[in-house]
Amino acid sequence: MREVVVEHLARVEGHGDIEVVIEGDAVKRAVLRIYEGPRFFERILIGKSYYEVPDITARICSICPDPYQVVSSRAIEKAMGIRVDKQVEALRELQLIADVIHSHALHLFFLALPDFLGYTDAIRMATQYPDTVKLGLKVKRAGNAIKEVITGRTVHGVVTKPGGYTKVPRAEDLERLSEQLKSSIDGAREAIRVFSSLKMPEYALDDNLYIAVDPGEHYGYSGDHLLVSDGTRHPVENYMHLTNEVTVEHSSAKHSSYKGSSFMTGALARLLLNEKKLYGEAKESYESLRDRVDPRNPFSNNIAQAIELLYSVQRAVDIIDGLLDEGIKDELMVEVKPKAGEGIAVVEAPRGLLYHHYKLDDEGRVVFANLVTPTAQNAANMDKYLRIAVRNLKDLSDDELKFKLEMLVRAYDPCISCSVHLTRIRV
């Protein structure tokens, strides 16, 4: 029996190991084991006022605090029957886009690319590829600049509440932001140039199932319906059927399945399901790279992220210019009259679907919270492809095998802090 363990995966968010056991020709075990400490967020939320919820849930994850704040706010507004206006919706879409820009740039240039170019990290990679790293930093900065202008800081912004924003950005700040985004688009083009020039590994291929939000008219990161690659469409209220979480003994993140099959959520799922909704340069790029986006290969997620990075920069400029054309209104938040209710909402975080479900009492306090995160949804799918990879690579040395399995897990861009807090063990 041969055991191979990658301890404390590097260049992913959070704490996890990869464990492999091979007996003769058979792969006995190939799993991502998650050992993040339990933080009891669902318990912390109980009894809290609706107003505090986005500030609390943001703390689950520092890579995607904005999706947490937006989806919390939306679910609570649904529970209370509140509608926000177009400007709030546009600013929230920008917040989601900002998170995609900074997160994809971080993943592509800092977490994934060093593997392909033979470095331990982007800081050392910068000695040989200074322009690539600088362009990556420039586009990443543009994503974070959106967060600073709208939410007050890059991590755990302070203004996003049920009912709207406590402060609205000034027109001159939005104008500057638009210029900064336009000049950062070279970074997104660089991501496409670099990743399309690399050969994506093909040691883990199989048919896969994808789920993504239906964003409506334009490619985007929120909506009230989900699209599945089997051709079906579902209202968000049915999220339990789309996630079917079960607990497994090797991981403190629950595993999801849809009709008995694991599935993938994230950039590749969004691109495959919503490709017709792209426009502009991102659409042209995608069309020229379509044959590089193999739905059977999870490594295609890297290319999908590069295309989304370009789209997101371009889309952010369009939304900001739209807001400026309409004239940004310095409006107060919608008045919130707390009442009892139940609300379910979904957004696309950079690495996939994030569902929030709350029940509130008549003073607007949380009595029930359920949060389903992208990495928990992807966990079973990662294990599926790890097993395929081990089957194909089992003749390699331990070190080579470890390296290739780490690369595969990184392609999913997992966010382990997010995935862990919601595990429920059935005993």
Partner 1 sequence: MGKLKAGFYSLTGCQGEYLTILGMEDVLLDLLSLVDIAEFKLASSKEYDGKVDIAFVEGSVSTERDLEYIKRIRENSGILVALGDCAVWGGIQASTTGQDWKELMRSVYKTESNLYGFLGEHKGVSEVVPVDYEIQGCPIEGKEFARVLMDLVRDVKPELPDYPVCIECKVREIPCLIVERALPCLGPITVAGCDARCPSYNTVCIGCRGPIRDEANVSGELEMLLRKGYDRERILDLMSLFGARYKDLRSLIEGGKS
Q: How far is the CB of 77 from partner 1 (least distance, A)?
A: 18
Least distance (Å) between residue 104 CB and partner 1: 14
Stretch that binds partner 1, among 152-160, 211-219, 265-273, 285-293 (CB under 8 A): 152-160
123 vs 171, beta carbon nearer partner 1: 123
Does residue 42 bind partner 1 (CB under 8 A)? yes
For the CB of residue 158, give the shortest distance to partner 1 in the complex, in Å: 5
Q: How far apart are CA 266 and CA 375, in angstroms?
A: 9
Candidate residues 69, 229, 252, 285; the one interacting with partner 1 per rule CB under 8 A: 252
Contact region for partner 1 (CB under 8 A) — 235-243, 287-295, 338-346, 416-424?
416-424
Contact yes or no for 377/263 (Cβ under 8 A): yes
Q: Is the Cα torsion angle 7, 8, 11, 12 positive or negative in sign?
A: positive
Q: Where are the alpha helices (H) located in 198-299, listed in sequence order?
A: 239-243, 267-274, 280-289
Residue number with CB closer to partner 1 (61 or 272): 61
Using CB under 8 A, count the residues that bind partner 1: 67
How far CA 217 is from CA of 157, 200, 347, 351, 353, in Å, comes to 28, 31, 16, 21, 19
Spatial separation of the C-alpha atoms in residues 279 and 301, rounded to whole Å: 19
According to the binding rule CB under 8 A, does residue 36 interact with partner 1?
yes
Considering the rule CB under 8 A, would residue 114 count as an interface residue with partner 1?
yes
H helix intervals, 290-420: 300-326, 374-393, 398-411, 416-420
Shortest Å, Cβ 49 to partner 1: 8
Please state, in angstroms and rounded to a whole number, the distance separating the CA atoms of residues 156 and 222: 20
Q: With binding defined as CB under 8 A, does residue 228 bind partner 1? A: no
Q: Is 423 in the site for partner 1 (CB under 8 A)?
A: yes
CB contact at 8 A, 400 and 47: no
Instruction: List the x/- string, 118-147, binding to partner 1 by CB under 8 A.
Output: --xxxxx-x------x---xx-xx--x---
Residue with tokens 């091979």: 22
**Of the candidate residues 155, 198, 289, 396, the single one contacting partner 1 (CB under 8 A):** 155
31 binds partner 1 (CB under 8 A): no
168 - beta bridge partners? none
3-state secondary structure of 279: coil
Tell which positions 46-85 bind partner 1, by CB under 8 A: 46-48, 52, 55-56, 59-63, 65
- The position carrying tokens 């009892």 is 340
**Exactly one of 110, 129, 195, 221 binds partner 1 (CB under 8 A); which one?**
110
Q: What b/e sequence results for 330-354 when a residue is b if at least 16 CB atoms lie within 10 Å of its CB, and e otherwise?
A: eeebbebebeebebbbbbbbbbbbb
Name the site residues for partner 1 (rule: CB under 8 A). 8-15, 35-44, 46-48, 52, 55-56, 59-63, 65, 102, 106, 110-111, 114, 120-124, 126, 133, 137-138, 140-141, 144, 152-156, 158-159, 161, 166-167, 252, 406, 417, 421-427
